[in-house]
Structure 1
């Protein structure tokens, strides 16, 4: 896959990395577009939707755009009306479809969050309160706010140790991934980080 604009959330990261995917008229996904350097050879490969306009040195003409996610989820196909686009650049004329893709991916990550293991309301309310207090502290003392954030980080490491060990005994990697809203590799790394062992063990 070539370079392209992607979206992630803080909690789910690369496990649910979204982007605008391209479909050709025959329903296939095109190869990345190779952009040659102006001098000295070499270049880079891109899969950014706006390059698939059929123009010289660009990729083939996209027939539709859809949201895609690294987890395998795909959104609705949004057909491109090339009669309406005409000679305009796709980047200028086709923004409605990418915007819709982004919104659909947002809805997908909302579903991922809802399917993850739920947290008690008292805990989520407490986290929201802590976040608000750090925000207030940052207005008067950024360094104090930074220390508070660091204390949260230390607390997370300390309190996550035994739950990580218990989770390793009680749940498979597949179960942990589903509960955390991550792919299996990310879940394995997360549990290993809090449990302080190598993820390759």
Structure 2
């Protein structure tokens, strides 16, 4: 089970776990019937201590960007229903992750109101057209891609040419990770989609 917020894909959240010594365990491997492939999981409920797995004593929020929640929530394995894992209360870790995302969003560059409204109207209009006129939508998407490549290239050249250390600044401004920001800059720098 993971949590996502639209337009912030690099900040996928989930329940993380801690062992009694305060460390975060690595993934648990499962042998799926021989061979060289082993399925791995970091889902909180696999750290039961059974079958030589580590025993998690607490949970906390975690994010794909590397963030970890500061609050710890004890796990009462006697109350975990293996048939209905969603019934176990993980609201604390999720609330912490939501607060982390709110902070990420607050540091990101806001869109000007008129641009946000134009994008919303464009999205709504293309959604209206896609079933009845898919070729029209495809043509509009093609024209948008051309404009995106041109403006993306200009913005990337300005950002990377004006100052050093562009990747960390772009990551924070867009509410993404440095890896995703670097990938975006390279994509527009070389005008490829």
Whether these two folds match at TM > 0.5 is yes
Q: Which residue of structure 1 lines up, in the alignment, with residue 82 of structure 2?
A: 89
The verdict on how the C-alpha distance between 1:41 and 1:167 changes in structure 2, with shifts beyond 3 A counting, is closer
Deviation at 1:100, TM superposition (A): 4.6
Cα-to-partner distance string for 1:25-69 (whole Å, 9 max, x where unaligned)? 222112321212333465233222121122236x22221222211
Q: CA RMSD in A?
A: 2.8
Q: 1 CA distance for matches of 2:57 and 2:162?
A: 48
DSSP-derived class of the 2:79 partner: helix
Cα-to-partner distance string for 1:139-195 (whole Å, 9 max, x where unaligned)? 422332233233322221122111110111223222222222233332222122112
Would you say the 8 A contact 1:20–1:67 is kept in 2?
yes
Q: Which residue of structure 2 lines up, in the alignment, with residue 11 of structure 1?
A: 7
Alignment match of 1:71 (pick from 65, 71, 79): 65
TM-score normalised to the size of structure 1?
A: 0.78
Q: Which residue of structure 2 lines up, in the alignment, with residue 60 of structure 1?
A: 54
Specify every segment of 5 or more residues in structure 1 that has no aligned partner in the other structure, as ranges. Answer: none
Q: Which shifted more, 122-131 or 46-55?
A: 46-55
Specify every segment of 5 or more residues in structure 2 that has no aligned partner in the other structure, as ranges. Answer: none
DSSP-derived class of the 1:124 partner: helix
DSSP-derived class of the 1:166 partner: helix
